[in-house]
Amino acid sequence: MESATRETSKVRAASKTSRFLLGLPLVLLPLLLGGARPWFWCGVAGLFALGLTWSIWSNMEPPQTGNLSRKWLSGLGVLLLYPVFQCLPLAGSWLAHLSPQLMLWKGYATDVALAPSRYFSTSYAPLVSFVSGLWWIFLAGYALLFRKTLREQTDLGWYFHTLFWVAGFEAFYGLLQTLIPSLGGFWEAAGQGLARGTFVNRNHYAAFLGMVWPVLLAYLLSTRASSGRRQALSHSELEQRKTILQKSLFLGFVIGLVLLALFFSQSKAGIMGALISLTVFVAFGRIWRKRGMVALLVGCWLVMFAYGSIIGFHEILVRFDTLEKYAPVRLDVWGDTWRLIQDHWLTGTGLGTYPEVIRIYQSHLTDQWDIVHAHNDYLELAGDLGVPVATAMVLLAWGSWWVCAWGMVRKREAGSRDRGARRAGDVKRETPAGKGRDLAPTETEEESGSDRVATGKGVPRGRHRTSRAASGEFEQGTINKEQVEKRRLLALGALAGSAAFLCHSWVEFNWQIPANQLYFIVLLVLMKI
């Protein structure tokens, strides 16, 4: 008895620690300028490191990697250690082969300073690259901890409720900025009459909301699906269902506000990203087969259009008419960035050094308008890390997206075959000739029966374990049909939100904003549940 109590208290302490470690960065980074200041995101990463260290030391257990294979761990280790390699001092003969242009600049600097040196790093600013690499280590640690928590805890409602509160606050504050033009983004961003919440730039604000709203919608639909069973209920169960319905209506209202704030950010790419995420959500989901869920989705958009018609959509439409005004500026920035990449295509200029190095290649604008970012995350990554590493990162991100998308298509097709097989089996059971022979499950049912796998009924021993592993479900514990459907919806929401982020990154630098980085990592983990 005493050991059981001790074990229970230990589990509760671990749950509280995980809530602190996962919830604190999730709340702080968006609420303070999107975490776009080094002093702030360094502090958040430091708190996470201290909390994780204390948790490991107090539990006296080695850190878990969430059952990742050695191949994935090796690839992740190489990616995280690459910024460290960029900071290492190398001999001049090595640097002449790895980065000839950098060696040329170093030679000019040596002639001017009259201080020759024999060792150089491939990064133009080693300290910046090293600190940026530490931030990447934080993102990897957060992802591993979040993945481990998802696999160990069946109820993570508090995590998604936190997402609702953060997104709801950002949406409400952004709409206030639209109604009160003088209202800025805390202490640094002056008011412009645009919805941008606590972010400095409205494009990053729109990208943040574009990532989050599909996940919020997926969670709302999952709660509606789990409470939609029609059966005889007691009075207390009926009251509980009414409470869930009221809560669902409120959460649907919050999603409508998020969509409204996204549109009134007047970010062209952000609005198009929201439409892309909606398309992915509908194309890969099956919500149109459930009238209640379709009505809920339509209600979210009606809230957005109703409030938007009061405030006015005219300025948003005007923004799309000025597309040709801003396109040439981005093309000039991309041209300068491309020349930077050509000179440092192998090793890059160093992680996080783009704002300093691009000044050498800036060929347009005046001295009062410095280029800070490339307005294209893929080009900026190639400039910072070099073409080989940047290409590997991009392929990893897009490859994971397509693998998850294809997996959803296969599961949907398997579910359709399973329903067809069950209908055929029911028809055979109704005929006298099928008695005794067709009562056993068919081979098609055994191989593609996602519902049978979820409940563990009617599946041979040899196929039970294989089917569960193929469907990406947890390897431990019993998972019922509702949990499988809930995870499918959450993965679908993450797939839709990450599609918006990846597409928006072609014309913006969202990966350089710490809050958006963190939330994109969260979506990548959710896609794999």
Closest CA to 216 of 147, 169, 161: 161
Please give the pLDDT value at position 444. Answer: 41
Q: Are 249 and 460 in contact (CB under 8 A)?
A: no
SS3 505: coil
What is the residue type of 184? Answer: G
The span from the CA of 248 to the CA of 253, in Å, is: 9
Q: Are 486 and 189 in contact (CB under 8 A)?
A: no
Closest CA to 301 of 277, 269, 268, 267: 277
Local structure of residue 191 (DSSP, 8 states): P
| Domain range annotation of the chain | 406-479
Q: Are 349 and 123 in contact (CB under 8 A)?
A: yes
Classify the C-alpha dihedral 281-283-286-287 as positive or negative.
Answer: positive
CA distance from start to end of the chain: 35
Q: How many residues in total does the chain contain? A: 529
Q: How many other CB atoms are found less than 10 A from the CB of residue 380?
A: 24
Q: 156 Cβ partners below 8 Å, 6+ apart? A: 149, 150
Reported pTM: 0.82
Residue 123, class by beta-carbon neighbours within 10 Å (0-12 exposed, 13-18 middle, 19+ buried)? Answer: buried
The span from the CA of 83 to the CA of 385, in Å, is: 8
Residue with tokens 């709203």: 213
Please give the pLDDT value at position 312. Answer: 56
Q: State both tokens at 148.
A: 């481990």
Please give the pLDDT value at position 183. Answer: 83
Average pLDDT, 10 consecutive residues per value, the chain (529 residues): 61 76 93 88 92 79 62 80 91 84 79 66 92 94 90 84 94 91 74 85 93 93 65 69 83 89 86 85 69 59 59 53 62 91 93 92 70 91 95 93 89 69 62 46 41 43 41 44 83 94 92 95 91
Please give the pLDDT value at position 148. Answer: 87
Q: Are 54 and 81 in contact (CB under 8 A)?
A: no
Torsion angle of alpha carbons 268, 366, 106, 100, nearest 10°? 50
Please give the pLDDT value at position 296. Answer: 57
Please give the pLDDT value at position 273. Answer: 86
Q: Are 48 and 212 in contact (CB under 8 A)?
A: no
- Vertex 506, ends 355 and 100: CA angle to 5°? 45
CA 503 to chain CA centroid, Å, is 13
* Dmax (CA) of the chain: 100
Q: State both tokens at 135.
A: 């931030």
Please give the pLDDT value at position 263. Answer: 86
The span from the CA of 519 to the CA of 285, in Å, is: 22
Please give the pLDDT value at position 340. Answer: 94
Q: Are 496 and 277 in contact (CB under 8 A)?
A: yes
Dump the DSSP string for 397-414.
HHHHHHHHHHHHHHHHHH
The two counts, helices (H) then strands (E), for the chain are 21, 2
What is the residue type of 415? Answer: G
